Each structure stands twice: as structure tokens, then as C-alpha cells.
Amino acid sequence: MQAVAFQAPYEVALVDKPEPELQAPDDAIVRITATGVCGSDLHIFHGRVAIEPGFTIGHEYVGEVVAAGDAVTGVSVGDRVLGTFQVACGTCWFCRRSQYHKCDSGRTFGHGKTLGSLQGTQAELALVPHANLTLRKVPDGVAEDVALFAGDVMGTAYHATQFVRPGDSVAVLGLGPVGLSAVQTAFIAGAANVIAIDSVEARLDVARQFGATPVHLTEQNPRDEVRALTGGRGVDVAVEAVGDPRALESAIRLAAKTGVVSVVGVYAERCEVHMGLVWIKSLEMQTGQANVIGHLDSVLALLEAGRLDPSPLVTHHMALADAPEAYALYDKREALKIVLTP
């Protein structure tokens, strides 16, 4: 089969690989019909996330079950399915508490041996362990471009805004696919107002289209805008969807006293944080990767009902074979979401 494999920084290639085979009773094999290119793929592309040359990348996918082990009960061969970017064992201490994102033996598709040596989904076929927890049938009437978001981007947005309560004000800093999806999930969670902050006009336009108040990071003063919309108080929840200490400080400044700063942007190192401000405001910080498996049923219900609709985020459809061009394009930030079709 054909698969997109990392070769070296700034170089991916379509390669031939043997087809995957079932290994455990709760494995499934999925024939991929659509697979997305994600910001974390770009970290691999840039060489910032180490991965073995030749490893298949990609972790967003929709497809059809073509084989399933004896213990797979949730889906059947022939089912049109979507899956999560990460798999979890279902029985460790963390899984027993539904904290699937921190499973003691969790594995992430397409991230090499660092994250469990699970070959990626930018391929014709993918082996999916623990299929009962990870796969779901695509509900009737849900388009592939919509279903593709359930197992990563929209689940992450749902996670980012899970502390929003009806009537809250919310700021979203960084309007990539996760930030823009978080505008939608913030409204779903009851936000009265969502202030969406970025410096790219096209992204601000999408945020406006999703109902947010767009604020240009440098041409406007986010603090003034937030004050005007919140009676001077600041926002109840500030979502940091960038992964940059400046965005974090901005989130801390925009939050109201006793507010929540929700950090879904990725951090990998030490950095300076204004703990004095965090402390004096009695802020709560929620951090880390999303519990996408834990949120999957809820996200899927909202996608099926049409209350969440990420389809405007899909800017490009390309063939799997065009993956090298897709990565180059995405690297230039000219796309929001590229969907590859094997």
C-alpha cells in the first residue's frame, strides 16, 4: 500500500509499504478514505518532533473497516468509521477514570517510537489498536470533512472550552483550526460572548462568521476590547491555542479574577510565566493535550445534530500522492485544513 513517510526535515514522500495485519483481538484495520494534515504534523515536518525516517505520519482519519479482531464489538467490517488521533488501553488507572489522554500505555498515530510506534494514517490502510474505544461509526448524514474533525481538532476544542458555563465570556487566542473550532465549542458551552484574537485577517473573518467578536492582535488592543465586552471584568475563560509564552501572558491578562486559563497550545520547555498576576487574580490553569476519546461521544452528537460544523475550515482537498505539495502549502500557512484522499 501507499503511505506518506517522513524522510528528513522538510521532506515527506509517498512510499510503498506492506499492508498492516491484525495483531490483537481488539485491533481493526481501516481503509482510509480521508486523512487530514494537522499542526502537529508540521512539527514533525520541521524536525522539531523527532521521528524515525520512513515512519508513516498522520493521525486524523475517516475510513472503512476492512478487518476486525474477535473482541471488536463496537464496529464491524464494512462500517464507515472515524477514529481518534490517540489510542488508549481502557483498563489502566487513568483509563479507569476516563482520563484516556493520559493512558499509561497510550499511543499516538504517526509520531514514531516516542509516542508508541503506531504507524500513521496518511496511508491507504491503518492498523487501529483498541478499536472499541477509538473507533465510532460515522453517523448517517455526517460528511467526511466533518467527521474528520471529531477525533482530533474538534475534540481538542471541546476540551479547551469544557470549563465554560452558560453566560460566560470567553477569549480565544490563536485562530488556527483548533482556535476557530474553540469559538464554536465556546458558544455551544454557553458563552455569551467570544472574543477571537489573531493577526491573520482571513482567520478573523472565519471567527466573525462563527459569531465571535474578532480582534486583531496588533491593530487593536485586545484588553480594551475585552474590557468593553465584560464590563471591565475580563473573560471567564481564556483559551491559549498558540503555545507561546506571549500568548499565555496575554491570556492571563485578559482573564477575570478567579477565571480559567485553558492552555491547549503545546508547551515543551520552561518559560517565564507571570505567576504574580496568576496568583493575585486567583486564576485556575487547565493544561495539556485533549481527552479526545473521553469527549468523542459528545462531540459526535453535536456534529451529527449540526450544532458544530467545522466544514468551513477545510480549505483544500488533495490526493494522498500530493502529500509533499500539501505539506509545503501548509507550511506557508496558506491553508487551514488540508484533507488528503488516498
Site for a copy of itself in 243-282 (CB under 8 A): 245, 248, 257-258, 263, 266-276, 278-282
Looking at 27-35, 99-107, 119-127, 319-327, which segment touches a copy of itself (CB under 8 A)? Answer: 99-107
186-205 positions binding a copy of itself, by CB under 8 A: 187-190, 192-193
Separation of alpha carbons 198 and 173, rounded Å: 7
CB of residue 229 vs a copy of itself: minimum separation in angstroms? 9
Looking at 94-102, 116-124, 199-207, 323-331, which segment touches a copy of itself (CB under 8 A)? Answer: 94-102
Q: What is the largest CA-CA distance in the chain?
A: 61
Binder of a copy of itself out of 307, 319, 325, 334 (CB under 8 A):
307
Binding mask 141-170 for a copy of itself (x = CB under 8 A): -----------------x---x--xxxxx-
Cell of 182: 474553540
Of 66 and 301, the one with the shorter C-beta distance to a copy of itself is 301
Amino acid at residue number 117: S
Binder of a copy of itself out of 54, 301, 333, 334 (CB under 8 A):
301
Contact 214, 205 (CB under 8 A): yes
* Cell 486559563 belongs to residue: 261
Which residues, 6 or more positions from 102, have their beta carbon under 8 angstroms from its beta carbon?
A: 94
Cell of 103: 493512558
Of 72 and 123, the one with the shorter C-beta distance to a copy of itself is 72
Q: Which residues of 134-154 are buried (b: 16+ CB within 10 A; e: fewer)?
A: bbbbbbeebebbbbbbbbbbb
Of 278 and 318, the one with the shorter C-beta distance to a copy of itself is 278
Q: Please tell me whether residue 341 binds a copy of itself under the rule CB under 8 A.
A: no
Sign of CA dihedral 119, 296, 161, 333: positive
| Beta-bridge partners for 107 | 87
Looking at 33-41, 107-115, 116-124, 292-300, which segment touches a copy of itself (CB under 8 A)? Answer: 292-300
| Beta-bridge partners for 221 | none
CB of residue 136 vs a copy of itself: minimum separation in angstroms? 10
CB of residue 172 vs a copy of itself: minimum separation in angstroms? 16
41-60 positions binding a copy of itself, by CB under 8 A: none
Residue among 284, 265, 275, 283 nearest 197 (CA):
265
